[in-house]
Amino acid sequence: MFSKGHGYSKADIRDAGTPLILYGRLYTQYESRIEEVDTFAVEQDGSILSSGNEVIVPASGETAEDIAVASSVRRSGIILGGDLNVVTPTAKLDPDYTALAITYSKAHDDLAKRAQGKSVVHVHDNDIAEVEVSYPSESEQKRISSVVLNLDSLITLHQRMGPIFCFCAHGSRTNFASTLQG
């Protein structure tokens, strides 16, 4: 099933309220799987709220490759803002696997080819519907997405630890050198 996010822009962001995902998040803090959200808004009439098994794809962007990405939304009650295509996979498709397939498989190239526009490119729900995603059994999808998401978490952890490690290593060298001199 396909739908569109509804309304909302950066001007609607508040310090508290209902969690909100704007399409720009997919560019500024890309995550294959979104579980936590740090932006909030006052819920409006007609808002589209996640049920916790959606896949979101930006509806517009600067390049076709930029918008041929997806994230799974694994928490219910999050407002899905405007300019997002919202895919609710069938029971046979794991949302994490579907998001990874759209972003990293042949489906990414197929979706990028379907994007239309010059200075701003767009992709519509019917473009996503026409992209073929190969998928194994449900249990295999879950195993694949689990491995990839765990690797993604490990990479993120190492990226965060890099500066800390360098600081600690530098401090240790300084202390070691002081000990030798003193």
Mean pLDDT by 10 residues, the chain (182 residues): 89 96 86 93 95 94 88 97 93 95 91 89 90 93 95 83 60 47 49
pLDDT value at position 179? 44
pLDDT value at position 33? 95
The whole-model pTM stands at 0.82
| Interior/surface letters 128-164, b for 16+ CB within 10 angstroms, e for the rest | beebebebeeeeebeebbeebbeeeeeeeeeeeeeee
pLDDT value at position 173? 47
pLDDT value at position 171? 53
pLDDT value at position 176? 42
Q: Which helix or strand (DSSP H or E) is residue 51 part of? A: strand 49-51
Using CA atoms, how far apart are residues 74 and 42, in angstroms rounded to an integer?
A: 21
Cβ atoms within 10 A of the Cβ of 81, count? 25
Question: What is residue 171's three-state secondary structure?
Answer: helix
How many Cα atoms are found within 13 Å in the side-chain-facing hemisphere of 36? Answer: 1
C-beta of residue 51 within 8 angstroms of C-beta of residue 78: no
**Angle (deg, nearest 10), helices 95-104 and 138-181:** 70
